[in-house]
């Protein structure tokens, strides 16, 4: 399975979990918007992940994620 397929599989799992227990945080809204057909903004996603996981104190870079994904 490619990296991209694994990423989509993980998002599908997150989306299913979020729909079972919806919340109002930015990450939930961002995931929900990708389901509705909007293009995922990797830089914004990384900012949200950093804020959610480590309080925004550095971490994942949108540019590095895009480079890794081959986008």
pLDDT, one tens digit per residue, over 10-26 is: 877 777 766 665 555 66
pTM for this one? 0.30
CA 52, 9, 30, 26: dihedral to nearest 10 degrees? -20
* Domain total of the chain: 1
Buried/exposed 37-62: b ≥16 CB within 10 Å, e otherwise:
eeeeebeebbbbbbeeeeeeeeeeeb
Domain extent, residue 34, equals: 3-69
Count CB neighbours of 31 within 10 A. Answer: 20
Within the chain, which residues score under 50 in pLDDT?
A: 56-71
Does residue 70 contact residue 2 with C-beta atoms inside 8 Å?
no
């Amino acid at each position: 399975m490619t990296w991209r397929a694994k990423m989509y599989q993980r998002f599908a799992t997150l989306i299913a979990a979020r729909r079972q227990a919806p919340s109002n945080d930015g990450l939930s809204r961002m995931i929900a918007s990708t389901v509705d057909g909007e293009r995922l903004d990797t830089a914004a996603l990384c900012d949200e992940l950093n804020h959610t996981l480590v309080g925004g104190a550095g971490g994942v870079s949108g540019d590095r994620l895009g480079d890794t994904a081959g986008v």
